[in-house]
Homo-oligomer: A and B are copies of this chain.
């Protein structure tokens, strides 16, 4: 039985709380949120009690913490959790600053605690199935990979301002998927982008729409496109063109109903957003995390994976700024 404390009672915190509560082998002991009412509601729904941050770290009846607070608080919470010897289940990112991330990871390593980065795609049945078949060689050597990741609507401007921008906050998922699929580290990045959905985003030096190319030592070309606004909803697709064939992953839908009338054939939009699209992944990643803890296995993706995905995001950000390809080693050299 793994006993959990959860930091953050917002949208994603509630998802994790419900999953902890439903998982045999896990128990929700405590919840913290700066908004005490939210924390209390979460505890009322899914068990556990409201505690302070301090209390959670000091609790002897808590084995692991879920960090689901705003991104800027992650690094400090990880450090305190590591110091307290708690296993850590953390939403991306560790931090938007690479040097800070490195510092946090060194501390985590020193303390020897488990740090799991909750990159949800890896636990989605479709992404996992595609990767299994790719790794098994069904498509041969991957030569070109295309990742599409579009949100229904851009977040609030102040969220964008704080988030570090599309590359660090949104495309970071795709960078992680890309690394996980190819099993090697991209060496160069080139990024193009613009502000189509909300021109005000440009004031922060960020974009809301971007296409990024990466290429790996073995030659695989990776092509990622993201948009913060797709009128047609949450668009999550993936295609691998390999030497032996093409593996593709399409969107998922709430129902399989279609209507055909005089105006043609119509079907519904894909599942609305991440909470719906990756509902299964959230259950599976938590289940996996608990199994790792129970069996003394280091969970993956790790903090190091979090660092590497952020590194690609940093490189993409700089490439877009500079209008030229950027080498990953070059970015590492500047840290």
B residues less than 8 Å from A325 (CB atoms): 190, 323-324
Q: Are A194 and B219 in contact (CB under 8 A)?
A: yes
Interface residue tally for chain A (C-beta within 8 Å):
65
A162 at the interface (CB under 8 A from B): no
Neighbour of A259 across the interface among B138, B219, B227, B324, CB < 8 A: B138
Q: Which residue of chain B has the shortest Cβ distance to A215 in the bound complex?
A: B192
Q: Which residue of chain B has the shortest Cβ distance to A196 in the bound complex?
A: B143
Given known pairs A22-B22, A225-B223, A232-B245, the reply for A264 and B269 (CB within 8 Å) is yes
Given known pairs A130-B257, A150-B241, A265-B266, the reply for A144 and B232 (CB within 8 Å) is no
The CA of A194 and the CA of B325, in the complex, are separated in Å by 17
Q: Chain B interface: which of A53-61, A62-70, A246-254?
A: A246-254
Q: Are B247 and A221 in contact (CB under 8 A)?
A: no
Neighbour of A211 across the interface among B126, B221, B232, B256, CB < 8 A: B221
Given known pairs A221-B194, A223-B223, A265-B232, the reply for A260 and B246 (CB within 8 Å) is yes
Neighbour of A261 across the interface among B196, B231, B256, B267, CB < 8 A: B231
A255 at the interface (CB under 8 A from B): yes
